[in-house]
Structure 1
Amino acid sequence: MLWVPGILVLPLLALTVGSDSYATTISARQAERSTLPACAQTCVAQLPNNCQADEVCFCTAFVRTAYESCLKTQCSSSMQDQLGTYAYQATSCNRPVRNNANTLYGVTWAFFSVAVIFVALRLLSRWRGLNGSGISWDDWVVLGSLALVVVLDVSLNQGTKFGLATDLYTNTVGSIEVILRWLYIGEILYISVVMTTKIAAVLLYLRIWTADSITKAFRLSCWISIGVFAMTALAFDFAIIFQCSPVSSVWNNVTGQAGSCIKVAPLLYIFGALNILYDVVVFLLPIFSVVRLNIAMHKKIGVATLFAIGLVVTIAAIIRLQYVVRLFGEMNLTWEYQYPGLWAIIEANLSVICICAPPIAGLMQRWF
């Protein structure tokens, strides 16, 4: 029976070791807490339920939300302070290290590969050697859109390379500055791509329904739509490019560079809504003309369905707009910005893919 006291001692020993370990952890947290910037110290002093930043309650959802809300106002002027406070919170609460870079890389280049294939098939469908109608303005606009998509995809790729799709506290101020610069470039390109593909779609309508085969009202509506799309792209690109004075303040404000900027959120909301509205317009424009075609009803439905494929782009635009609305006010920007960035890539590439579907369908009919 001599082993009984030993067994009784083991729980006491474990309790003692656990207490020492907990005390050491608390001591380390207290030491680290003393290095927090003044803005974070203010927020710690205001934690609800008399919680302290070195206690277990600090990691509960309620206290964490209150702490982050305070940081948004107290530490908003210094990116370096934000990094320090977020790092402290993450390490104190043992948050897992998150990195979605591979997802962004995979989705971007998968969609881009499909877009390139569809553009190649579109151009093949125009080849006169395969009884095509030859290259026209709509094809050149699609090629221009693809060129813009290349740069757009590269911009997200570069932003991801420097830390997009990771948590803010795992990055440096310098890397965040680079990420913001690439996101700035990407937003300009995104606006250009989604508008030029709409222009290409309407140019295709004008190519299909010539002046001899359709009313003047339809063609006038098409030209007006093209003008509206072009002016929208120019207006919003101009506003995004010059949102700050100097322009470099768009990304340099994280380092404390002085500059004045307009509130860009309303611009993005308005553009997102107009983008969705224009998608619907592009879909509805040819419906009356399709109905008047002298073909069987099932063929009319097939043609209408072919043009309706473009509504897939509208779904992507709606999803992206939801993320844009949620974006502003978030402090973990390198993590949150990945979602509108990813859906911008999906929408832009889908725009190119869908605009190539009708000519490719014609090619398939000739082949089979």
Structure 2
Amino acid sequence: MNRLLFFAVPMFRARGATAWDSLFHLSSRERNKSILNDALPSVCFELPACAVTCSRYLGKSDNTVCSYDKIFSSAVTHCVQRHCPTLQDVLQWQTQYASLCDLPARDHGLLEVGVIYALFAVATVSFVGRLLSRSRFMNGPGFWWDDCLVLVLWMMSIELVICLAIMRHNGAGRDAIGWVSKDHVEKVLLWVYASEPFYISGTYGFKLVWVLLYLRMWEANTLFRKVCWYTAGLLMMGLVGFGVGAIAAFWPQQYYTGDSAIVRTHRAGIDLIPAVFIIGALNVAGDFWVLLLPIPKLINLESITKQRRMWICTLFLLGFVVTVCSMVRCTTILPLRNTTNVTWDFGHFVTWSEVEIHLSMVSCNLPALAGLIHRLRWRHRRRIASQGEEDQLPSETARSNATKQASVTNDMCTVDDDLCEDSNGRIVRREKEVGPAD
């Protein structure tokens, strides 16, 4: 299958570095730093036989050949991709191309996995904080459907972390040269396929968590509540429809047609990469709709100060950090269309998908965490006040200050725990349950 290809071919009728320069248009800096020097006519390396016919593309319309971009996207590489019968032939070509140019494999896999582990830990802490905030033990409002959904989504995020760890073991985040083989590429694509339904469920599920929070806050049967129900229905349709579609499309498990290096661009008449991009764009549009939906209602809150209203709105708008991640993820989709550097490109694609999921977990837990922090501060201040009363009898001035402090603390309501809508559609303080007498 293999044969020797000498780059110093007679057709150029030149010798030494001059012949190589006319062929590859190498700069003097590249010629000095690589093995491509005056002895190049005697340099050779093994290539698949199918790659020999692509030598006519060498140096054409390229200012340089020794770069990572040219290894994976040059005309000669795409020629090898079209003419070689197996994916392993293309990987072998890329490995020897990089070796000749003295370019080591780039590897961001460890960094990407480390970032995901850290974000998963932060998301888990925020989830635990949410449970504490809603529990009766912390004087919370109790659990509802949004909390149950967050529990399910957190369990799904564990699966995503496991998928990324397995992908990393098979070379995800690393250039597809060197020890990366056809089997490694197939396993990476398989685990990307396994993670896609969970990613879609997560992105639409977290939006549904926000909508359920709105339904929990605004209980009166108003137009806003009806809009929330319609939004929840659309999100459920997207969650189920796109999730089933991701499973049925077998993308990217069947990224290649058989054992060849030819990319499968269509399935059932659907252009796959544009379809993935459209789903990502709809995800971004959904973020804008869901996060901006309650802002007019929050701005018109009458029971709290203007400064507090702005703080609550900011808390909701922090969710747009996730939207930025969704946009960055969309930029990683287009390189997947005809890539020969599968482990590198799909590694970035999955990493940004998981960053989006874990930050979504954190953002939807922020209102509950704000309520938890508020109650902890209030308990701390009350404990300090009670200790002061035990030490000495408070003066009239100290007693007045304590009364003012209690009033201020009582006014510091949180959007998640202390606000609801009455039967007239007005935002009011939620009535607290009176505990048993001591």
Q: Same fold (TM over 0.5)?
A: yes
The match for 2:54 among 23, 43, 66 is: 43
Whether contact under 8 Å (2:189, 2:255) holds in the other structure is yes
1:264 maps to 2:272: yes
1:276 maps to 2:287: no
Deviation at residue 58 of structure 1 after TM alignment? 5.0
1:27 maps to 2:16: no
Q: Quote the residue 2:200 is aligned against.
A: 191
Q: Equivalent residue of 1:210, what SS?
A: coil
Residues 36 and 360 of structure 1: is their aligned pair in 2 closer, same or farther, counting only changes over 3 Å? same
Q: Equivalent residue of 1:250, what SS?
A: coil
Whether contact under 8 Å (2:81, 2:261) holds in the other structure is no
Distance 2:285 2:308 in 1: 27
Work out which of the two has the higher radius of gyration on C-alpha atoms and give 1 or 2.
2
Q: Identity of aligned pairs, percent?
A: 30
Partner deviation per Cα, 1:274-324 (whole Å, 9 max, x = no partner): 000000011111112112211221111111111111111000000110111
Residues 315 and 82 of structure 1: is their aligned pair in 2 closer, same or farther, counting only changes over 3 Å? same
Residues 325 and 97 of structure 1: is their aligned pair in 2 closer, same or farther, counting only changes over 3 Å? closer
Q: Quote the residue 1:168 is aligned against.
A: 176
Task: Calculate the TM-score normalised by the size of structure 1.
Answer: 0.83
Residues 290 and 28 of structure 1: is their aligned pair in 2 closer, same or farther, counting only changes over 3 Å? same
Q: Equivalent residue of 2:141, what SS?
A: coil
Residues 309 and 60 of structure 1: is their aligned pair in 2 closer, same or farther, counting only changes over 3 Å? closer
Partner deviation per Cα, 1:328-355 (whole Å, 9 max, x = no partner): 2221111111212111111000000100
Distance 2:55 2:261 in 1: 28
Q: Quote the residue 1:320 is aligned against.
A: 329
Partner deviation per Cα, 1:238-263 (whole Å, 9 max, x = no partner): 2211114xx89626746359998353
Which amino acid is the alignment partner of residue 235 of structure 1? G
1:226 maps to 2:202: no
Q: Quote the residue 1:350 is aligned against.
A: 359
Distance 1:274 1:62 in 2: 30
Partner deviation per Cα, 1:147-198 (whole Å, 9 max, x = no partner): 1111011111111111111111231111111111001112221111111011
Which amino acid is the alignment partner of residue 46 of structure 1? Y
Task: Calculate the TM-score normalised by the size of structure 2.
Answer: 0.71
Deviation at residue 60 of structure 1 after TM alignment? 6.9
Which amino acid is the alignment partner of residue 338 of structure 1? G
Distance 1:257 1:330 in 2: 10
Distance 1:248 1:344 in 2: 15
1:59 maps to 2:66: yes
**Unaligned runs of at least 5 residues, structure 1:** 1-20, 52-56
Deviation at residue 97 of structure 1 after TM alignment? 2.5
**Unaligned runs of at least 5 residues, structure 2:** 1-35, 378-438
What is the aligned-residue RMSD (CA, Å)?
Answer: 2.8
Residues 61 and 236 of structure 1: is their aligned pair in 2 closer, same or farther, counting only changes over 3 Å? closer
Residues 153 and 203 of structure 1: is their aligned pair in 2 closer, same or farther, counting only changes over 3 Å? same
Distance 1:301 1:114 in 2: 25
Whether contact under 8 Å (2:319, 2:360) holds in the other structure is yes
Q: Which structure's relative contact order is higher, taking Cα pairs within 8 Å and 6+ residues apart? A: 1
Which amino acid is the alignment partner of residue 151 of structure 1? E
Residues 300 and 248 of structure 1: is their aligned pair in 2 closer, same or farther, counting only changes over 3 Å? closer
Q: Which range is displaced more, 267-276 or 163-172?
A: 163-172
Distance 1:58 1:277 in 2: 41
Deviation at residue 142 of structure 1 after TM alignment? 0.6
Which amino acid is the alignment partner of residue 344 of structure 2? W
Distance 1:126 1:352 in 2: 16
Which amino acid is the alignment partner of residue 43 of structure 1? C
**Equivalences for residues 126-205 of structure 1 within 5 A:** 126-170=134-178, 171-205=180-214
The match for 2:96 among 80, 88, 92 is: 88
Whether contact under 8 Å (1:156, 1:341) holds in the other structure is yes
Deviation at residue 62 of structure 1 after TM alignment? 9.8
Deviation at residue 327 of structure 1 after TM alignment? 2.6
Q: Equivalent residue of 1:337, what SS?
A: helix
Partner deviation per Cα, 1:216-248 (whole Å, 9 max, x = no partner): 21111111111111111211112211114xx89
Deviation at residue 135 of structure 1 after TM alignment? 1.0
Which amino acid is the alignment partner of residue 255 of structure 1? D
Whether contact under 8 Å (1:178, 1:251) holds in the other structure is no
Which amino acid is the alignment partner of residue 287 of structure 1? I
The match for 2:125 among 117, 121, 130 is: 117
The match for 1:70 among 79, 83, 88 is: 79
Which amino acid is the alignment partner of residue 306 of structure 2? M
1:209 maps to 2:218: yes
Residues 253 and 345 of structure 1: is their aligned pair in 2 closer, same or farther, counting only changes over 3 Å? same
Q: Equivalent residue of 1:169, what SS?
A: coil
The match for 1:329 among 313, 338, 350 is: 338
Q: Quote the residue 2:241 is aligned against.
A: 235
